[in-house]
Amino acid sequence: MSHAPTNGTHEPPLKVGVIGLGWAGQQHLDAYSRAPGVEVVALAGLEEGLRRELQEQHGVPHAFADWQDLVALDELDAVSVAVPTFLHAPIAVAALDRGLHVLSEKPLARNAVEGQDMVDAARRAGRVLDVAFNHRRRGDISTLRRIIKAGDLGRPYYAKASWLRRAGIPMLGSWFTNREMSGGGPLVDLGVHVLDYALHLLGEPKVLSVSAATYSELGPHGRGGDERYSAMATQSAFEVEDFASAFVRLEGGGTLVLEAGWAAYREQDDLLDFQVYGTEGGARLHALGASKNPVADLRVFAEKDGRNADWSPEVKAGAGHQAVIDDFLAAVRGGPEVWGAHDGSLALSRARVIDACYRSAAEQREVDV
């Protein structure tokens, strides 16, 4: 395999492969194609027509139906893994064991046990394992993070974060709604994003315990999807939740309430939301239209000389998956001295919280993390 130098002005290009050619895989492919000093040398995906189309469109020399053929290539430096969740661990571990750096789509894996296997493989190989938490790269979330970090809100003590859809069950009857393949419903699909950006905004407090509930009220009856998600293309039973909520206790006394829903009788537009109360101020980020709305309505609630001093920060759109790819490439190019800081540990901590939420919901009690 290729071992490109990590320093110097005349580095050979990093050679990458993309496994999985759906929406997420195409985001990775497009971002790599725009990144300087990168060559996409291989694609892998089961869809023959799409595989050929993307291979031709991006001038990729190798294209495979089987991901194992891609991982076996000697010329690779890194791979993106953008496949159904049950394949994240086996592909990532195989790639890491080959000495490749890995960028995986979220969630890290179906559960924290598989996630630990991936982190162990990254540490064993001394390679980068990153996970695509693209929503923390939103411009509005980055802006609010700077405000909170600067202490403008004082000490945050309560936050509520949501990603809610009216009718957005992804491909009812597909791997998304098969528990063995997905690991769960919106809690592991959308909720891991919500958990990530919420804890990121709050400065990464340690999660102590969770009390969660899950509901499966619409999906089992064939409701909760529309044409965007091919929701009525049923091939198997609906085995996961369609709505979840969790009360999360944080170290230092703070609390976080999470909501993640594929389907509920609410307003039509998707909602990405974060509200926080602090000792010196508060804030709300409200993106009606969710991920399709590049800039949310962001409001900071403040007081000056006993009077209302609320204000709206200037916010620019973030770079999304491009920022994810750029950060991953920077870590790879950073060399062995920085690779150890990118071993998937943060994503594993998220997986442990999600696991605790599912256990709490199943046992109807608060669960330590």
CATH number at residue 326: 3.40.50.720
Same domain? 60 vs 144: no
Same domain? 30 vs 75: yes
Q: Quick one: average pLDDT of 275-291?
A: 93
Q: What range does the domain containing 51 cover?
A: 14-134+322-343
Model confidence at 233, in pLDDT bands (50, 70, 90)?
Answer: very low
Model confidence at 231, in pLDDT bands (50, 70, 90)?
Answer: very low
**pLDDT digit string, tens, across residues 49-105:** 999 999 999 999 999 999 999 999 999 999 999 999 999 999 999 999 999 999 999
Same domain? 174 vs 313: yes
Residue 187 has pLDDT above 60, yes or no: yes
Model confidence at 172, in pLDDT bands (50, 70, 90)?
Answer: confident
Domain count, the chain: 2
**pLDDT digit string, tens, across residues 328-364:** 999 999 999 999 999 999 999 999 999 999 999 999 9
In a domain, 228, yes or no: yes
In a domain, 356, yes or no: no
Between 119 and 289, the higher pLDDT residue: 119
CA distances from 344 to 85, 118, 133, 195 (A): 15, 8, 12, 16
Model confidence at 226, in pLDDT bands (50, 70, 90)?
Answer: low
Same domain? 90 vs 173: no
Residue 236 has pLDDT above 80, yes or no: no
Model confidence at 10, in pLDDT bands (50, 70, 90)?
Answer: low
Same domain? 157 vs 225: yes
Same domain? 173 vs 304: yes
Residue 227 has pLDDT above 70, yes or no: no
